[in-house]
Amino acid sequence: MPGAQLREGDILARRYILKQPVAAGGMSVVWRAWDSTLERTVAVKVLDGPIASDGGQRDRIRREARAAARIEHPNAIGVYDYGETVTPRGRIAAYVVMQLLEGISVAARLERGPVPWPEAVQVAGTVADVLHAAHRRGVVHRDVTPENVMLTSDGVRLLDFGIAADIGQREEAMTFGTPPYVAPERLTGAPASGATDVYSLGVLLFEMLTGAPPYPAQTWEELERALAAERRPVLNVPGLPAAAAAACLRSLSTDPMRRPTAAELASILGSSAPAARNRRRVLLAVPVVVAIATVLSVLLLRDDDPDPKRGENAAPVPSVSIYVSVVPGPPGAQVTPTTNGQPRRSGTATSGAPATGSAAPPPLPSPLTRQAAGKAVLDVVDRREQTGEIREDVALDIRNQINNLLSDSNDAARRIELLRKQLTDRRRDNAVQEAAYQELDAAVVQFGKTFST
């Protein structure tokens, strides 16, 4: 990058040791780096150029960190830290620290031609679910492109929230994004909405299925001419389920109101992907011996999301529930639990005394899943920050640490204890008010328990 001053071996913020650059943009460089505090490899995106000519890039990189930190989803890139520091050669540099991913982008995959429809549908369905999580947090990505979707050994990941906006935010004076993936309403300055992301994802799915976007354009003028021609794209992919094809074409509607929501799109594509159906069928069918031969554990996919705003068509969140059953007795017998936890059969009496019925004890509450417990912490942070009981920078740091733990559980116990100590310190300096501290610390404790079960 012209004017860049950072070099291999430089240390940022007395913590991040730069190893080698892995990507570069107009004003920023992404480095593979070593986090000497937590002893792990990370990606550090650094704005390394003259501050006077950064064109607002510092604000954008800060916005990227904040937007990504608000999204609690395992398929969104994890953001760990943000800051501004002085480089070894005296220049001020803004940086954001992210999860380092190994894999290839969808753009690189498309260089080999169209993606088989089952894989394309599964990728798009996963991205739709991430977008649904973002929209629930009031974040619009605005840059869903093949370059920003990565295929890794741990699954699909949505990257780069660098031009994300809050829902309802007006378009800046300069239009951002990649022309073929920009929704038509963005060209007219419409406020940011989830529908713009759905359009971009529709373009991405169309391109994965056919090998080319529905409206190829290199410039904004070419895009405007292509949209003005009102040529409706056609999908003719052998084997592609009709529901998936229809959802893709609906996503490309020029009218935002006619597009499905991200939740609807995730549900439709999730049910259309053979891998998802096969995985569910296997999980429903496999019994596991837990302790004794009379106890079976069945792994089920269940939606544990307690958020009442979640739409009916939202994609299911995979989690594990354990249901305990007892080997049935002779025909006609009925198994019920007793108060001492041992099974009791009712039916044909074996003694002279008549059977007396008793109500079964209420089921014990299911423990929180790790995702649900992490979400509970983030909800406390959001609510208490809005009331001014948690300082903004402290709230951002807590979100970063929780999302970090959700995506990387290594050394979780020590990191949970470190977070609790930081909360105590922030309470002392009044960055976290007492009531907020009590609720937040309790939620963090519950979250920590999910790493030991």
Q: Annotated catalytic sites, by residue?
A: 143
Q: What is the 3-state secondary structure (H, E, C) of 262-275?
A: HHHHHHHHHHHCHH
CA angle 439, 75, 375 (to 5 degrees): 10
Contacts 24+ apart (CB under 8 A), 117-122: 117/209, 117/237, 117/239, 117/240, 117/244, 118/273, 118/274, 118/275, 119/208, 120/205, 120/208, 120/209, 121/205, 121/240, 121/241, 121/244, 121/269, 121/272, 121/273, 122/156, 122/269, 122/273, 122/275, 122/276
Q: What does the alpha-carbon distance between residue 394 and residue 100 come to, in Å, rounded to a whole number?
A: 24
User: By the 8 A CB rule, do 86 and 125 touch?
Assistant: no
User: By the 8 A CB rule, do 112 and 208 touch?
Assistant: no
Q: What does the alpha-carbon distance between residue 8 and residue 10 come to, in Å, rounded to a whole number?
A: 6
CA 334 to chain CA centroid, nearest Å: 44
Q: How far is CA 67 from CA 59, 63, 139, 311, in A?
A: 12, 6, 7, 22
Q: What does the alpha-carbon distance between residue 147 and residue 23 come to, in Å, rounded to a whole number?
A: 12
User: By the 8 A CB rule, do 449 and 376 touch?
Assistant: no
Q: How far is CA 60 from CA 23, 42, 96, 290, in A?
A: 18, 20, 11, 51
Please tell me whether residue 84 adopts helix, strand or coil conformation.
strand
User: By the 8 A CB rule, do 385 and 395 touch?
Assistant: yes
Sheet bearing 149-152, strands edge to edge: 103-105, 149-152, 155-158
C-alpha closest to that of 162 among 280, 62, 266, 48: 62
DSSP annotation string for 147-171: GGEEEETTEEEE---TT-EETTPPP
C-alpha closest to that of 409 among 153, 150, 40, 19: 40
If one counts every other C-beta atom within 10 angstroms of the C-beta of residue 78, the result is 25
If one counts every other C-beta atom within 10 angstroms of the C-beta of residue 51, the result is 13
In sequence order, the β-bridge partners of residue 322 are 299
